[in-house]
Structures are given as C-alpha cells and as structure tokens.
Amino acid sequence: MSKGGGEQTRRAFLAAAAALPFSALISGCRRAPSAEDAAEELPEVRMPPPPVRGAGRHAGARLLYYAESVGIGAAIDRALARRFARDTGALVDVVPRPRDATETYASYLRLFQARSADVDVLSLDVVWPGIFAPHLLDLGAALGGLAATHLEAAIENDTVHGRLVAMPYFTDFGMLYYRSDLLPKYGYGAPPATWDELEEMARTIQGGERAQSRSFTGFVWQGKAYEGLTCNALEWIHSYGGGAILKDREPTVENPRAAQALARFHRFVGTISPIGVTGYEEEDARNVFQGGNAAFMRNWPYAFAAGNAKGSRIEGRFDVAPLPHEPGYESSATLGGWTLGVSKYSRFPDAAIALVGYLCSPEVQRFRALVGGYIPTIPAVQSDPDVARVLPFLERVRGATLVARPSNQAGARYNEVSIAFYQGVSKALYGTNPEKALEQIARRIRRSLR
C-alpha cells in the first residue's frame, strides 16, 4: 500500500500541476495592465498649452519627468512637456508614475536609495516633500519669487528646514457637501456653520427622510483606518482649536479640545452617520451621497464634478460650504494635492528647475484648471473669472483655513506619525475613551520622532 500511496501522491501532484496552468490561462486572459496603459487613448487636450516664458535655452538637456499616469492629467502633462521642449530645446521624457500612490512612493524610495540620476522631475504627494527632502534640490533661489504668489499653506508645506524642496502643482482640500434641496425643505436657510448646527440639521433631515427611504443617513465622511482618516480627524481637531497633531516635532493631541472632537465623531457613528462609516473611504461616502442617501458629506473637490455629471441622482441638488467648526474657532480644511520636486541626483538641474517653474506658473495653472479641473495653488488664478466658472466651489469655501498634515516636521517619519494618529482615532471611533486614545497616539508619535 505504501508504494501505491507514493505513486498515488505523484499522480495527484501531476494532476494538480496540470490544473494550475489552466487557471493561470484564465487569469492570463486579462490584458496585462502595462500593455493596456500603453494602448490607452488619452483624452484630447482642447486648448493649446501656454508658451514658456523666461526659462532660457536648455538645448542638450534631457529630462525624465515622473508625471501623472492616467486620463486628462496624463494628456495635459504630455502636452506641457512638448511645449516646454519646443520652447527651450530640452528633451523631456514623460513617464507615467505608478497609478497607485503607495506604489509610486515605494519606487521613489528605491530610486533615491540608489541615488539614481535616471529621474529629474518628480510628482510628489503633498505629504512627501518632508520625507524625500534630503534627496531634493532647494528651489528657493530660482523659484522663490514664483513661490511667493502661491498659497502660503502650500508653500509652508513644501518648505523643509528652510529649504523649498517642492512647488505646489495643484491643491485639494476637504469641504462640506450638502443637499441644497433638502435644507430648505426642513426650514434651513443656510448650510451649518458649527458642528452643533450640522448635528441638529442632520438629525432632523435624517428623521424626516427615513419615512420614505429607510437607508437615508445624515452625514457621511471617511472613517476607515487609512490616510484619509488622518485628513478627516485633522479637520475635526483643528476646527475645535485642538492643534494640528505636531508643533515643533512634539505631539499636541493630548488636549481636552481634541478629546471633545473625537467624542463627538464617536457619537456620530450610528446616530447621524451610518454605523458602517468607520469602514468608509472617499468613494464609499460619495456613493452614499450621490445615490441621494445622505444630507451631508465631507469629501474632496472631485466629488463636485462627479455629483453634477449626467445621470447623477443629485445633479443640481447639492452645493458646498466650508466644513463646520466650534464657535470661536476656524473652519478647517486639510491640504491635499500634489507637488513637483527636482531630484538632487539630476544631471540637468537647471533645465529641471526651469521645467518645474513652467509647470507651476500662473499661465499653466490656469490652463490646467480650464482643461482638467485642477485646482490652482495661486490665489490670483483661483479668482480668474474663467477659472471661477469652471470651479464654482472655490469661491464658496474661501473662508476655510487650509491645514497641512505635519509632514515637513515629521520628515522621514511622517507615515509612522500618521499611522499612529489614524489608528488611535479609529480606536476612539470604535469606543476607546478619547483621552486614552490620544494619550496612546502621543506616546507612539514621541517614540517615532525620538
């Protein structure tokens, strides 16, 4: 029997091995993503890119630019690179960065670890300048004048130990979406200014609407334990006067105001917010709101265009306002978006800096807003009449204070700080005592920054 068993084992193994390629074949039917990307038709850019001014000639320089990977953003980046090449004589290779931000982050880590001269200009998430600062050139001398015209919060975010290591490319911020048809229906003339008002309105509207739609909910936001929760909770705590996580590399979260903010949002879960909100990302919240199932939503500006798209259930029935705050404190919006930096290992630093200067110029910011809906980081461009027509929400949220995540203080340890923060906030949302959760956050952050 033992011999037969052995033979049996081998045959079973062979049969199993034969079954494997079969399954591989089926999954192989999906086209490889890289081939798909290469073949992908990029949307058409409807406007000619603006000319390059005052960048000089850079014939002979060859730049590699890690740019946006998909859609209109990728098409715009390519059109701008071509224009820059035509006007300055520099060659620009536009390489789409990995679609996923974490992937991009990992590939930058490797590039910089190897001190690679293969890349010159990089698109950086707004929280990365602090992390990658040691590997980025100081743009202050060449682009300081241009930087002064950009949003102060954005420039502060990109300034690490006095060095301007990146330039803001476009910005993003949290805002409050509300149903402009439902508020008047329940007798409210204006969107809520304070959290108390929001809570009261949400409760009333939810109570009334549930008569027709059982799944209607008051307020949706991003409560899953991920970077998005850091953005959300920073807004709550800051709008309570509870600080911005770090000050001078010291955690500031252990304060009663921050604890009150967390206690309020813990109370929201299962009352005016769905019980599942602690698992929500941006798209989960948007699906609920856009499906007509919520009165309020905290989200980024992209949801504005999506909500007004053809076929949306709430087309023309919603509007935006600054996020609520506690009386006496500021409405706060976490700063998002992307920036551009120049690698310290670049062989053509002058041409690379000139490219960044062009891409962050007011003309290009205006162009990108009109063609792709990207939010300019230059206030003067934001109030340009054409831009205001394309991005009507800009004017309505002007009252909010932009708050940067503490990435330029935490530097290479930013991710650790953020993970400690959102995991602690997540615990508080699940019922851990807020003071205790904040104390844990502070302890973990101190350990990371020691």
Partner 1 sequence: MSMTTGEAEKQEEVAGIRARRRARVAWVFLSPALIVTAFVALYPLCDTLYLSLTNTRLGSEEPARFVGLSNYVELAHDGFFLDALLLTVLFAVITVMLELGLGLGIALLLDTRFKGRGAVRAAMLVPWAIPTAVSTQMWKWMYNDVYGVFNDVLVNRLGLVSEPIAFVADPRTSLLAAVLVDVWKTTPFVALLLLAGLQLIPRELYEAARVDGATPLQAFTRITLPLLRPALLVALVFRTLDALRVFDVFYVMFGSRPDMQTLATYAHEILVSISDVGYGSAVSTAIFLVIAVFIVIYVALFQRREA
Nearest-approach distance from CB 124 to partner 1, in angstroms? 13
Contact between 206 and 217 (Cβ < 8 Å):
yes
Position among 23, 212, 328, 389 found at the interface with partner 1 (CB under 8 A): 23
Q: How far is the CB of 30 from partner 1 (least distance, A)?
A: 8
Binding residue count for partner 1, defined by CB under 8 A:
59
Q: Contact between 218 and partner 1 (CB under 8 A)?
A: no
Binding to partner 1 (CB under 8 A): which residues in 26-45?
26-27, 29-30
**What does the alpha-carbon distance between residue 101 and residue 282 come to, in Å, rounded to a whole number?**
15
- Shorter beta-carbon distance to partner 1: residue 13 or 302: 13
Which of 240, 318, 374, 422 touches partner 1 by CB under 8 A? 422
Q: Is 19 in the site for partner 1 (CB under 8 A)?
A: yes
* Per-residue x/- track, 93-132, partner 1 (CB under 8 A): ---------x--xx--xx-xx-----------------xx
CB of 140 to partner 1, least distance (A): 21
3-state secondary structure the chain: CHHHHHHHHHHHHHHHHHHHHHHHHHHHCCCCHHHHHHHCCCCCCCCCCCCCCCCCCCCCCEEEEEECCCHHHHHHHHHHHHHHHHHHCCEEEEEECCCCHHHHHHHHHHHHHCCCCCCCEEEEECCCHHHHHHHECCCHHHHHHHHCCCCHHHHHHHEECCEECCEEEEEEECEEEEECCHHHHCCCCCCCCEHHHHHHHHHHHHHHHCCCCCCCEEEECCCCCCHHHHHHHHHHHHHCCCCCCEECCEECCCCHHHHHHHHHHHHHECCCECHHHHHCCHHHHHHHHHCCCEEEEEECCHHHHHHCCCCCCCCCCEEEECCCECCCCCCEEEEEEEEEEEECCCCCHHHHHHHHHHHCCHHHHHHHHHHHCCECCCHHHHCCHHHHHHCCHHHHCCCCEEECCCHHHHHHHHHHHHHHHHHHHHHHHCCCCHHHHHHHHHHHHHHHHC
409 touches partner 1 (CB under 8 A): no
Tell me the closest approach of the beta carbon of residue 260 to partner 1, in angstroms.
22
271 binds partner 1 (CB under 8 A): no
- 268 counts as binding partner 1 under rule CB under 8 A: no
Task: Give 53 or 115: the residue with its C-beta nearer to partner 1.
Answer: 115
Query: Which one of the spans 6-14, 59-67, 253-261, 328-336 is the region binding partner 1 (CB under 8 A)?
Result: 6-14
State the minimum distance, in angstroms, from the CB of residue 131 to partner 1.
Answer: 7
Least distance in Å: CB of 381 to partner 1? 34
Which of 279, 316, 392, 399 lies at the binding interface for partner 1 (CB under 8 A)?
279
Contact letters for partner 1, residues 294-313 (x by CB under 8 A): x-------------------
The least distance separating partner 1 from the CB of residue 270, rounded to whole angstroms, comes to: 9
- Contact residues toward partner 1 (CB under 8 A) are 2, 5, 8-9, 11-13, 15-16, 18-19, 22-23, 26-27, 29-30, 102, 105-106, 109-110, 112-113, 131-132, 134-135, 214-215, 217, 220, 223-226, 274-281, 284, 287-288, 291, 293-294, 412, 415-416, 419, 422-423, 426-427, 430
